[in-house]
Amino acid sequence: MGGRNRKLDVYKALAAIGVILVHIRFPGVVGSVFCSIGVCGVIFFFLISGYAIYGDNANDAVTKKLWVRFKRNAGITCIAVGIYFVFTVLTQICYGNVSDWMREFFKPVILLRMVFLGDFEMIYGDPLWFLPALCYSYLLFILIYKLKLLRVAHAMMPVFLLLRIGMETYTNSFGADWHMSGNAIVGALPIMLLGHFIAANRKTVAGFDYKIVVIFSLIAAAATFLSVNIKAGALDVSQPFKIAFASLVFIIAIRGYTGRDSVCKLLEYLGMRCSLYIYLFHYLIIVVLVFLAEELNLSDFLFDWFVPVAVIIVSVVVSVGIDRVKMLIIQLSDETRESAG
C-alpha cells in the first residue's frame, strides 16, 4: 500500500513524548513504566533514520539524498545549539556567573567534546547529542555507498550492535561518561544499520506473522521494564531488550500498516511534523518549568504529577509553533520567488 505510513507517525509522536518522561519522570510504578518505554525512543528514531535512507547500492540518488539530509540536520544542529547557548548565557547572567562560565565554555577540550562527542551538557543540551551523531552517521553511510560496502556494512552490523550493547552496559553500570556510548559510532550507527538492514529485507519482514511479532514485542517490553528497574547488582543488562523492543515495535509499524487513516490525527500530525522539535527542545522546557515550580514552592504531589504533564503540553505547543513559523516562512519565500519570477 502506497502513501505515507500514518501509523509510524503516531509511533514517532509517542516515542518523542516517551523521551520526555525519561527526563522528567512520574513517581512510583507509573514513572517506571513510562521511563522503560521512553528509553527506547531514541533507538526508535535511529531505526527510522536508517530505514528511510535505504537505496540500491549502485544508486547515486541515495548519496544525494544522504547529502541533503546531512546538510538539513547540520543546519538544525547549529540552530538548536545556538538557542541553547543563548538560553544558557541568559541564565548565567541571572546568576552573575557569565564571565566564569564563558571562560570554561571556550576551553578547547569543551569545544572538541561538543563537536566530536555531542557533549552539550554545559548548555543544558544533553539531548542534542542525537543530531551530530545522526549527521556523522549520514557521512559514514555516504562513504559506505561510495565505496560500495553496503553488504560489508550489513555483515558487520552484529559487531556494531555488540559494541553498542557492551559500551551502554559499561557506562550505565559503572557510571562512566555516557558520551562514550552516546555518539555516532556507538550510539547511532549500529541502530541505523539495523534499520537499513530491515529496509533491505522488507519483503521478508512483510512475511512475518503479525500476531507473533506483537507477542514478542510484549515479551521484550516486559524484559525491558524488568531489566531497567531491577538490576543484578550494579550491572545494567537492559540494552539488548531495549533494542529488541524498539525494533519489534518498528516492525509492527511498517508491517501492520494498511493505508487507513490513523485513529488519532493529533499524534499523526505531531509525529509527521513536530516529533524532532519535541525531542530537541523538551529539555530546555524542563529546566524552565522545574525552576518555576521551585519558585512557586509547589507541593511534592503537584510537582511529581503536574510538572511532567506541563512539560509535555508546553513542548507540544512550542513544537507546533515552530512548525507553523517554518511553514509561514516557506510560504512567504515561495510567494517572493513567484513575484520575482
Considering the entire predicted model, what is its pTM? 0.94
Q: Which residues contact 175 (CB under 8 A, 6 or more apart)?
A: none
Rounded Cα–Cα distance for residues 117 and 307 (Å): 30
What are the cell numbers at 57? 547500492
DSSP one-letter string for 166-228: HHHHHHHHHT--GGGTSSIIIIIHHHHHHHHHHHHTHHHHHTS-HHHHHHHHHHHHHHHHHHH
pLDDT in tens, the chain (341 residues): 456 788 899 999 999 999 999 999 999 999 999 999 999 999 999 999 999 999 876 667 889 999 999 999 999 999 999 999 999 999 999 989 999 999 999 999 999 999 999 999 999 999 999 999 999 999 999 999 999 899 999 999 999 999 999 999 999 999 899 999 999 999 999 999 999 999 999 999 988 998 999 999 999 999 999 999 887 667 899 999 999 999 999 999 987 555 566 668 899 999 999 999 999 999 999 999 999 999 999 999 999 999 999 999 999 999 999 999 999 998 888 878 777 76
Dihedral, CA atoms, 246, 315, 226, 235, nearest 10 degrees?
90
Using alpha carbons, list the distances in angstroms from residue 272 to 14, 37, 158, 278, 335. 11, 20, 30, 12, 24
The strand pairing partners of 87, in sequence order, are none
